[in-house]
A and B are shown apart, each in its own frame.
Chain A
Amino acid sequence: MIRMRTIEISVGAFVLAGILCLVFLAFRVSGVGVGDTSGTYMLKARFNDVAGLRVRSKVSLAGVTIGRVAKIGVDSETAEAIVTMEVTDDVKNLPVDTGARIQTEGFLGGRYISIIPGGEDKMLGSGDTITNTQGALVLENLIGDFITKMGSK
């Protein structure tokens, strides 16, 4: 018969190991990134096509993740997509003529929004809209255009 004390200690160690593993999973395995919304502000952008972009897709500036896509909606009057982004407060000085472009990460990667700063003196504030945008390049459309042009020649 094993002594009660041994059982207590080993159960304690077992629970402790479980908690340590959970901490490992929470901090080493899952994202540290822009998790909380406390230090962020909202930016909007209008795109003609956001195919492949998802909520929580990355927003990056010069290749560094500075935010996430918070919402994707559609403006039925202009038939444009309106993307709402959460951008960290560290990047507060984006000029009003800043551009946004939807790009693909690697060969098979997901879509993300690349921010290209402009040169104006006035800065974008919270809730402002980026109008200088370039939507997603859809490979099927490009191939379709190419074939039509070839055919009309």
Chain B
Amino acid sequence: MLRYLRLLGQWALDWIGALGRASLVWFWSLAGLPRRGDMTLLLKQVYQIGVLSLIIIILSAFSIGGVLALQGYTQLSKVGAEESVGLGVALVLLRELGPVVTGLLFAGRAGSAVTAEIGLMKATDQLSAMEMMGVDPMHRIVAPRLWAGMICMPLLTVIFNAVAIWGSALVGVDWLGVDAGGFWGGMQDGVERWEDIGKGMVKSGVFGMVISWIAVFQGYDSTPTAEGISVATTKTVVYSSVAVLALDFILTLVMYGEFK
């Protein structure tokens, strides 16, 4: 009995310790970047994390928009309200699906890659070598990846939303024959700039920060073995996905909840 209690305590202490280390990583790398000559590092990471994620984001957005339009049309046409498809799809995408699905894809596509890269650098002693040379790995490796993640997530979310809405218009208007005026008009009547678009962007910014934080920390804190890297990569994807979904609930509660 006492043994289990001790294990539990140890586990809790390990966990709190990891959180402390993660906060330090976050703090040092946020403080570490703004220096001249860092633009190249940052640009490279925005390319790796953002530009290379575009294809999966666009493909998913298109099919999700199309599916929403199809499903919405099937149900709404039963009550003769198929023109509301546009509004429904836009609200669902801007408020929830856009940030959340982009976050999940981003964690799988970019977060795992960042963890594996930093983990391998650690396993092959590249990070220690940098320290030997007097180069701060926090500044050179971790900070650009963290910043790039925070820059890319909102951009990817905006692109996701636009492509998904375009996809739903393609399916709804051009294929299923919903009246174009009603589709776009209903959308414009119901969607508000700050309430729907703005708050969705706030969500995506928070997700971007948390995902890239988890990714760089798991890589930096991984056990420097082949197995350690694989565990860290898995952890990144699992933790980021859970964090995105849980944070989405909390953010929705805070921003859209009735209680103030």
Report A's interface with B, CB cutoff 8 A.
2, 4, 7-8, 10-11, 13-15, 17-18, 21-22, 24-26, 28-33, 35, 56, 58, 65, 106-108
Contact of A18 with B158 in the complex, beta carbons under 8 Å: yes
CB nearest to B163 among chain A residues: A21
CB nearest to B42 among chain A residues: A11
Contact of A7 with B43 in the complex, beta carbons under 8 Å: yes
Given A4-B40, A108-B79, residue A30 in contact with residue B46 (CB < 8 A): no
Contact of B158 with A21 in the complex, beta carbons under 8 Å: yes
Contacting residues, chain A, for B94 (C-beta < 8 A) = 25, 29
Q: Among the listed A13, A17, A25, A106, which residue makes an inter-chain contact with B81, where contact means beta carbons less than 8 Å apart?
A: A106
Contact of A30 with B197 in the complex, beta carbons under 8 Å: yes
Report B's interface with A, CB cutoff 8 A.
40, 43-44, 46-47, 50-51, 54, 79-81, 90, 94, 154-156, 158-159, 161-163, 165, 184, 187-193, 196-197
Contact of B51 with A14 in the complex, beta carbons under 8 Å: yes
CB proximity of A26 to chain B, nearest CB, Å? 6
Contact of A25 with B162 in the complex, beta carbons under 8 Å: yes
Given A21-B158, A21-B159, A22-B158, residue A30 in contact with residue B188 (CB < 8 A): yes
Contact of A7 with B90 in the complex, beta carbons under 8 Å: no
Contacting residues, chain A, for B189 (C-beta < 8 A) = 31, 33, 58, 65
Contact of B47 with A25 in the complex, beta carbons under 8 Å: no
Given A29-B187, A108-B81, residue A11 in contact with residue B51 (CB < 8 A): yes
CB nearest to B200 among chain A residues: A25
CB proximity of B95 to chain A, nearest CB, Å? 12
Contact of B159 with A18 in the complex, beta carbons under 8 Å: yes
CB nearest to B81 among chain A residues: A108
Contact of B197 with A25 in the complex, beta carbons under 8 Å: yes
Contact of A24 with B162 in the complex, beta carbons under 8 Å: yes
Given A15-B155, A30-B192, residue A107 in contact with residue B79 (CB < 8 A): yes
Contact of B50 with A11 in the complex, beta carbons under 8 Å: yes
Contact of A10 with B47 in the complex, beta carbons under 8 Å: yes
CB proximity of B58 to chain A, nearest CB, Å? 10
CB proximity of A107 to chain B, nearest CB, Å? 7
Contact of B79 with A11 in the complex, beta carbons under 8 Å: no
Q: Among the listed A10, A21, A31, A56, which residue makes an inter-chain contact with B162, where contact means beta carbons less than 8 Å apart?
A: A21
8 further interface pairs, Cβ-Cβ under 8 Å (given A13-B51, A21-B161): A4-B40, A10-B47, A18-B154, A25-B161, A25-B165, A29-B191, A35-B193, A107-B81
CB nearest to B187 among chain A residues: A29
CB proximity of B256 to chain A, nearest CB, Å? 14
Contact of A18 with B155 in the complex, beta carbons under 8 Å: yes
Q: Among the listed B51, B156, B184, B191, which residue makes an inter-chain contact with A10, where contact means beta carbons less than 8 Å apart?
A: B51
Contact of A29 with B51 in the complex, beta carbons under 8 Å: no
Contact of B155 with A11 in the complex, beta carbons under 8 Å: no
Contacting residues, chain B, for A14 (C-beta < 8 A) = 46-47, 50-51, 54, 155
Considering residues A11, A25, A29, which has the most beta carbons from chain B within 10 angstroms of its beta carbon?
A: A29
Contacting residues, chain A, for B154 (C-beta < 8 A) = 18
CB nearest to B156 among chain A residues: A18
Contacting residues, chain B, for A15 (C-beta < 8 A) = 155
A106 CA to B197 CA in the complex, in Å?
Answer: 26
CB nearest to A15 among chain B residues: B155
CB nearest to B197 among chain A residues: A25
Contact of B43 with A8 in the complex, beta carbons under 8 Å: yes
A33 CA to B90 CA in the complex, in Å?
Answer: 17
Considering residues A18, A56, A107, which has the most beta carbons from chain B within 10 angstroms of its beta carbon?
A: A18
Contact of A31 with B197 in the complex, beta carbons under 8 Å: no
CB proximity of A28 to chain B, nearest CB, Å? 7
Contacting residues, chain A, for B81 (C-beta < 8 A) = 106-108
Contact of B90 with A29 in the complex, beta carbons under 8 Å: yes
Contacting residues, chain B, for A32 (C-beta < 8 A) = 188
